[in-house]
Amino acid sequence: MASSSKLRAAKADEGEDLAIDMSPMIDMVFLLLIFFLVNATMIIVKMDPEVEPPVAKNSMKAEDGNGRIVINIRQEGELYSEAGEELTDDDVIDLVTKEKDVIVQQGYEPKLHLRGDKRAVFKHCRKVLRLSAKAGVDKVVFATYNFEK
């Protein structure tokens, strides 16, 4: 009789479903989500509405957005920083030198992000390239569209 009660007790447990408590898993997912959001680096390039970049059908999206020093060249050749301040030649050298030092301390390679208007003459771009090289930055990323806007 003892064996039949054990058998009934074993069979009675088979009817209950096993359940996993998912609340610790959900907590872990939220913690990971918050961790990645906090550690993500936001890369925002402020676009000058006065500058319309040229179209280049073979242009590619840059893979690395870190370490960029943005200079805008408007149609008539005026130079502007990312913050919208007008720049002289000496200002360009100072800006590139300061930004380069900050970027190198962060562990990135400094690059000149040149946003030239499609109606601007290339001699203005060449001037900025020379000033940037004088300040110690010789890598350049040209901003272009790969389709007509």
pLDDT at 16: 61
Is residue 38 in some structural domain?
A: no
Q: How many CA atoms lie within 13 A of 73 on its CB side?
A: 26
Is residue 119 in some structural domain?
A: yes
Is residue 125 in some structural domain?
A: yes
Is residue 86 in some structural domain?
A: yes
pLDDT at 84: 86
pLDDT at 96: 94
Do residues 69 and 43 lie in contact, with contact meaning Cβ atoms separated by under 8 Å? no
Do residues 80 and 48 lie in contact, with contact meaning Cβ atoms separated by under 8 Å? yes
Residues facing residue 91 across a β-bridge = none
Is residue 54 in some structural domain?
A: no
Residue 85: what are its φ and ψ, rounded to 5°? -85, 135
Is residue 127 in some structural domain?
A: yes
**Domain of 114: which CATH number?**
3.30.420.270
Q: How many CA atoms lie within 13 A of 72 on its CB side?
A: 18
Q: pTM score, two decimals? A: 0.66
Structural domain harbouring 124: 68-142
Residue 78 makes CB contacts below 8 A (sequence gap 6+) with 86
- Tokens representing residue 118 in the block: 């499609």
pLDDT at 54: 85
Task: Look at the chain and report how many structural domains it folds into.
Answer: 1
Is residue 99 in some structural domain?
A: yes
Do residues 137 and 47 lie in contact, with contact meaning Cβ atoms separated by under 8 Å? no
Is residue 128 in some structural domain?
A: yes
One digit per residue, the tens of pLDDT, for the chain of length 149 reads 556 676 666 665 555 667 788 888 999 999 999 998 888 766 666 778 888 888 888 888 777 778 889 999 998 989 998 888 999 999 999 999 999 999 999 999 999 999 989 898 889 999 999 999 999 998 998 888 877 66
Rounded to whole angstroms, the Cα distance separating 36 from 101 reads: 27
- Tokens representing residue 123 in the block: 């001699």
